């Protein structure tokens, strides 16, 4: 009996470690890129910075401060419930020339939703963004990237483009800023869409520690600029394709 308990315990630990390792070191978006935009082939050295899960009264404001210092525009994929709670932060994003995308209302994995629930998630967030900022968006990014082919079709029918990413900073793991910059510099290509977060933690869609994200921005912008890259909004990247 004791041996059986030990075996089960070891198995649980191994499975838990495997799941954590998968989440930390593997980018799940690679598996669901079909019929979604994750990068654009460009000759010009241009890259798009995107931030998910905000707005946050703590982290979005600090990220906006850093982006302003380096004169870079980005695209923020926002949660409806966060826009409703912090409309003034969403307004600042727009006022400073950045773009907004739809990231659902509450960041639940969409695989568990019916198509009707999916439509409500998108439309409720669309309405809140419009009421808070006066802007509409036709860019949608699914939480955790997971979508079925049927869900992608439904999203397109609602007039949205599904936007994923080609480079994942994994900043939610709170990797060191220098490590994040080194990873991106090693893998960057013209037309890449880079994923960061301006809110959220390992187990929640709000809060978290984005200090390394904030510190990454000036280092990354400086390093990529020296390599001849410039930064664009998502619309600019797609329109000039």
Question: Residue 189: which region, alpha, beta or left (left: phi > 0; alpha: psi -120 to 50)?
Answer: beta
In-domain check, residue 20: no
In-domain check, residue 54: yes
In-domain check, residue 9: no
- For residue 236 the two structure tokens come to 């600019």
Q: Which residues contact 14 (CB under 8 A, 6 or more apart)?
A: none
What SS3 class is residue 229? coil
CA pair distance 202, 211, nearest whole angstrom: 14
pTM to 2 decimal places:
0.88
In-domain check, residue 218: yes
Could you tell me the CATH number of the domain that includes residue 108?
3.20.20.370
In-domain check, residue 5: no
Please give the positions annotated as active site. 52, 197
In-domain check, residue 125: yes
In-domain check, residue 184: yes
pLDDT for position 83? 98
In-domain check, residue 6: no
Domain count, the chain: 1
Which structural domain range is residue 226 located in?
Answer: 29-239
Question: Would you give per-residue pLDDT tens digits along the chain (241 residues)?
Answer: 556 665 555 555 444 333 343 444 446 778 888 889 999 999 999 999 999 999 999 999 999 999 999 999 999 999 999 999 999 999 999 999 999 999 999 988 777 788 999 999 999 999 999 999 999 999 999 988 888 889 999 999 999 999 999 999 989 877 789 999 999 999 999 999 999 999 976 666 677 889 999 999 999 999 999 999 999 999 999 987 6
CA pair distance 14, 231, nearest whole angstrom: 42
What SS3 class is residue 70? coil
- For residue 34 the two structure tokens come to 């079909």
């Amino acid at each position: 009996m004791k041996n059986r308990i030990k075996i089960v315990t070891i198995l649980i630990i191994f499975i838990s470690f495997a799941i954590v390792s998968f989440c930390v070191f593997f980018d799940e978006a690679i598996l669901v890129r079909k019929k979604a935009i994750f990068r654009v082939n460009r000759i010009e050295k241009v890259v798009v910075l995107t931030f998910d899960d905000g707005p946050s009264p703590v982290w979005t404001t600090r990220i906006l401060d850093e982006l302003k210092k380096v004169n870079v525009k980005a695209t923020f994929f926002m949660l409806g419930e966060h826009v409703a709670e912090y409309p003034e932060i969403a307004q600042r994003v727009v006022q400073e020339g950045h773009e907004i995308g739809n990231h659902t209302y509450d960041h639940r994995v969409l695989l568990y939703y019916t198509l009707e629930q999916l439509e409500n998630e998108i439309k409720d967030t669309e309405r809140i963004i419009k009421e808070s900022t006066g802007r509409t968006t036709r860019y949608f990014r699914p939480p955790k990237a997971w979508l079925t082919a049927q869900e992608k079709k439904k999203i397109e029918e609602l007039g949205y483009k599904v936007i994923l990413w080609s480079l994942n900073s994994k900043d939610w793991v709170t990797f060191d800023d220098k490590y994040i910059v080194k990873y991106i510099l090693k893998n960057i290509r013209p037309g890449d869409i880079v994923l960061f977060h301006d809110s959220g933690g390992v187990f929640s869609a709000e809060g978290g520690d984005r200090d390394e994200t904030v510190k990454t921005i000036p280092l990354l912008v400086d390093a990529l600029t020296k390599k001849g890259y410039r930064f664009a909004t998502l619309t600019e990247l797609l329109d000039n394709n």
